[in-house]
Amino acid sequence: MIFTTPLQRATLVRRYKRFLSDVTLPDGELVTAHVANSGAMLGLADPGLEVWLSHHPSATRKLAWSWELARIDGGLVGINTMHPNAIVAEAIASGTVAPLAGYSQIRREVPYGTNSRVDLLLTSPDRPRCYVEVKNVHLKRGDAACFPDAVTARGTKHLHELTEVVKAGDRAVMLFLVQREDCCYFMPASDIDPVYSQALLQAAAAGVEVYCYACRLTLEEIRLDQPLPLRLSGDGRSFEK
21-40: b (≥16 Cβ within 10 Å) or e: bbbeeeeeeebebbbebebe
Give the model's pLDDT for residue 225: 97
Instruction: Give residue-wise pLDDT tens across range 154-180.
Output: 999 999 999 999 999 999 999 999 999
- The CATH number of the structural domain formed by 8-78 is 2.40.50.580
Instruction: Give residue-wise pLDDT tens across range 212-232.
Output: 999 999 999 999 999 999 999
**pLDDT over 90, % of the chain:** 92
Rounded to two decimals, the pTM is: 0.93
Q: Contact 71/7 with Cβ under 8 angstroms? A: no
Q: What are the extents of the domains in the chain?
A: 8-78, 84-227
Instruction: Give residue-wise pLDDT tens across range 65-75.
Output: 999 999 999 99
Instruction: Give residue-wise pLDDT tens across range 15-64.
Output: 999 999 999 999 999 999 999 999 999 999 999 999 999 999 888 889 99
Give the model's pLDDT for residue 121: 98
**pLDDT over 70, % of the chain:** 97
Residue 206 amino acid letter: A
Give the model's pLDDT for residue 148: 96
Strand duo 185-188 + 171-178: pairing = unpaired
Q: Does domain 84-227 have CATH number 3.40.980.10?
A: no
Give the model's pLDDT for residue 49: 97
Q: Does 8-78 match 84-227 in CATH topology?
A: no
Give the model's pLDDT for residue 234: 53
